Every structure is written in structure tokens, then in C-alpha cells.
Amino acid sequence: MRAAVLEAPNRPLQIEDLAEPSPGPGEVLVATTACGVCHTDLHVMKGEVIFPTPAVLGHEVSGVVAAVGNGVETVRVGDRVVASFIMPCGWCRHCVRGAEDLCETFFSFNRLRGTLYDGQTRLRRADGSTVAMYSMGGLAERCVVPATDVFRVPDALTLRDVTTLGCSMLTAYGAVHNVAALRPGDDVAVVAVGGVGSALVQMAVAYGAARVIAVDVSREKLKAAEALGATHTVDASAVDPVDAVRAATEGRGVAVAFEALGSAATFAAACGMADDGGAVVVIGIAPAGVTGAVDLSRLPRRKLRILGSYGGRPRADMPALLRLVERGVLRPQALVTRHFDLADADAAYQALARGEIVGRALVDVGPG
């Protein structure tokens, strides 16, 4: 099967023929329809996140079930499915209490070693040498996913339209629903409206936020955020974003400031935007070792809450997301602005690195 392989950091993705993968017990082989182009892959490609290579990246996929391993009862061959980047093991101490966003099996086997949960990757070159999997390795014609992370897509929805549920929309849902517990009428700010930030704007609107203030340095991204329902936009390259958010909220600040970039400057700005008793929800992943400053007196005296949010809890959240899309409450397809062929996967990530992707780009891998 064809796959986009990262040989080593700072090398272009190259299309290679890998051996046909097969699912182990409790796993599902998915013929990939589409895979989202996400900054997290880019961190690995640039060597900012340490990950074994050679590797197949891509962690936001839709596709059709091509085979199932022993014991899989939840899906059948031919089912149209979507999968999320967190592939919950289902049995670690966090998964058993529903906190799949902390699944330690996922972190220790997949994120550190590039394998599934028997310690083996399902990807091999023709010479038998192994190729690591970043999540399921979605930038390939076929991928193997634990059945705990494979969700049937309702007939009324097209696979390409729901592909972004697997990372950007799951992350937005986790931040808005699980962590911020956003209430109707709350004001929110979204600092950085790239792929996840755009999804956050749409999610906050769906949850009944009163003001949704998009903050970015790109006029094009702010315009796109407006189309997704942002009530206010702040060009942080032209004005002080904290002053602008306070001015838009009668000086109060917002109930929730989402930080979706991962830098000291955007973290500080988000902290400055939060109202008394408000929350800063940090979603952006900064390079390891980067620290952020916060006025400590505001934590107790203004009851400022600083909360981290990582993805979501796939087995509870993906079915909920699919229902919200089916009802038309969420429109994940509105995030997608560009499509690339698998052969052009490297060009897609180069465009992302140059800041040219508004919302989300998809790599179209196969039919469906």
C-alpha cells in the first residue's frame, strides 16, 4: 500500500509502497478516505516533538472498514467510520474512570514508541524493517486502529465531511464541553484561530456563547472565523489583544479564554483576557520546556482558573460529536478549505508551516 513516510526529521514526506498491514486482536483495518493536516504532525516533522522514525504520520482519519481482528464486535467490514488521534486502551487506570484523554497506554506505547499496545507497529517496509505509527498512521492507504477508537458514521453524513472530528473537533469539544463546561451566555475568546481555533469558534457558538472573540495575527484567518460565527475579531498584529477583548466586553473580560497556539505570549494574553472567576483553557502545545508567566495574585484574589485540555474522551465524545453533526448543530466540513492528494502530502504540510492553511486541509487518500 502507498504511504507518506517521514524518513527523519526535517526531510520531506516521501510516498513509498509499504507491506499490507493486518489488524491484531481487537483492532480494525481501515481503508483511509481522508486524513487531516494538523500542526502536531508538523512538530514531529520539524523534530520539535521527539518521535521514532521512519514513521507514518496522520492522526485524524475517516475511511471504510477493510478487515477486523479477532474479538471485534463493534464494526464490520464495509462500515464507514471515523477515528480520533487518542486511541484509548480502555483498561489503564485513567481509561477505567473515563479519562481517556490521559490514557497512559496511548502515551507510553504510541506517542513514545510509535507502536500499538502489544509493543509492535503494524507497518513494515518490503525488506521487513519496521515503520513507526503516529496514532494510526493515517497518511497511508490503509491504517490499523484499536477498535476502541473506531466509530460508525451515520449514513446521512459523508466521510470527508466528518474527518476533522478526529482531532480538531474532538479537541474543541473536549475544551468547551469537558474542561471549560461552557454555559449559554458566556463570553469567550479564542486566541489563535488555526485548525483547532476555528473548531473552537464553531463549538462555542454551538454551545450558546454570547460573544465569541477570535484573536489572531492573520486577517484571512479572522475573516474565516467570522464566517464560522465569531462575533468579534481582534487583529493582534495591529492592536493590543488584551485591551481589545476587554473593550469588547465592557471592561470585564471573558468567562473563558482558549489558548490554541502554545506560546508564552499567547498564554499571557489569554490570562489577561479572562474575567474574575474566569478560566484560561490551554490547548496549544508549546515545545517542551517553554514556560509561561501569570500574575499569581490573580489566582486567589480573582479566582482565575488555568486549565489544561488535551483532545477528548473518544468513546463518549465521538458519538456525541457525530450526533451533533447529524443534527446540523456542528458543520465540521466548514473548517475544510483545501484538499491535497496523498502524493502531495508533503506540499500540504509545507503550506501549513507557511501559515497558508485557513481552517483545515485534508489529504484525500481513497474513495468513500
The DSSP code for 140 is B
> What is the grid cell recorded at 15?
510516498
Site for Zn ion in 99-118 (CB under 5 A): 103, 105
Q: Give least dist CB 276 to Zn ion, A.
A: 33
The residues with which 287 forms a beta bridge, in sequence order, are none
Among 66, 95, 280, 285, binds Zn ion (CB under 5 A): 95
Segment near Zn ion (CB under 5 A), from 71-79, 95-103, 279-287, 359-367?
95-103
Rounded least distance, CB 173 to Zn ion, Å: 13
State whether residue 364 is helix, strand or coil. Answer: strand
206 vs 361, which CB is nearer to Zn ion? 361
At its nearest, how many Å lie between Zn ion and the CB of residue 14? 21
CB of 193 to Zn ion, least distance (A): 15
Distance from C-alpha of 126 to C-alpha of 23, rounded to nearest angstrom: 18
Looking at the Cβ atoms of 36 and 368, the one nearer to Zn ion is 36
Q: Is 167 in the site for Zn ion (CB under 5 A)?
A: yes
- Structure-block grid coordinates of residue 324: 451533533
* Minimum distance from residue 107 beta carbon to Zn ion (Å): 9
Q: Is 139 in the site for Zn ion (CB under 5 A)?
A: no
User: In the complex, what is the shortest distance from the CB of residue 357 to Zn ion, in angstroms, rounded to a whole number?
Assistant: 13
Binders of Zn ion: how many residues, by CB under 5 A? 8
- Of 3, 56, 92, 330, the residue at the interface with Zn ion (CB under 5 A) is 92
Query: With binding defined as CB under 5 A, does residue 82 bind Zn ion?
Result: no
Q: Say how many C-beta atoms besides its own lie within 10 A of residue 303's C-beta.
A: 13
Between the alpha carbon of residue 84 and those of residues 189, 190, 292, the distances in Å are 25, 23, 29
Give the three-state DSSP class for 156. coil
Please give the Cα distance from 1 to 167 (Å, whole number).
Answer: 24
Contact between 261 and Zn ion by CB under 5 A: the answer reads no
Helix H or strand E encompassing 337? strand 336-341
Of 178, 200, 177, the closest CA to residue 188 belongs to 200
Among residues 89, 131, 147, 352, the one that binds Zn ion under rule CB under 5 A: 89
Q: Of all helices (H) and strands (E), which one includes residue 64?
A: strand 61-68
Is 82 in contact with 153 (CB distance < 8 Å)? yes
* From candidates 6, 28, 31, 38, binder to Zn ion by CB under 5 A: 38
Q: How far is the CB of 26 from Zn ion (least distance, A)?
A: 13
Enumerate binding residues for Zn ion (CB under 5 A). Answer: 38, 40, 89, 92, 95, 103, 105, 167
